[in-house]
Structure 1
Amino acid sequence: MDKWLIPLLLVAAGVALYEQSKAEPNYYLMAFAGLVFVFCMAKLSAKIPSKKEHDETE
């Protein structure tokens, strides 16, 4: 499942940055790419354990 999140995150960031550099960017495409980026970051960050959980288990 993680194998498709990182490439999707990079593609979304690339599309958003590319659209932003155009003379007339497509704001809907930029917004969609931003939402995909935030979704992927939330999914990836949910898998990182917190330090509090690690301290409580010891």
Structure 2
Amino acid sequence: MPGHTYWDYTQLRFPRREGMRIDFVLGSPALAARVGGARIDREERKGKGASDHAPVVVELTP
């Protein structure tokens, strides 16, 4: 999964796409077998008063 899940507020890290990957999703092997995709929701980070973290979204197949 490309991208970062955390951007420090200093030195314009977010607009420059310079961050760290520190958030993760933990699941069982059975759950992992159902993963159809994953992404980082950068739009959530852009909002006013947003956290310096961004949600990691995991898409599951039936």
TM-score by length of 1: 0.27
More helix as a share of residues: 1
When Rg is computed on C-alpha atoms for both structures, the one with the higher figure is 1
- Give TM-score, length-normalised by structure 2: 0.26
- Relative to its length, the structure with more strand (as a share) is 2
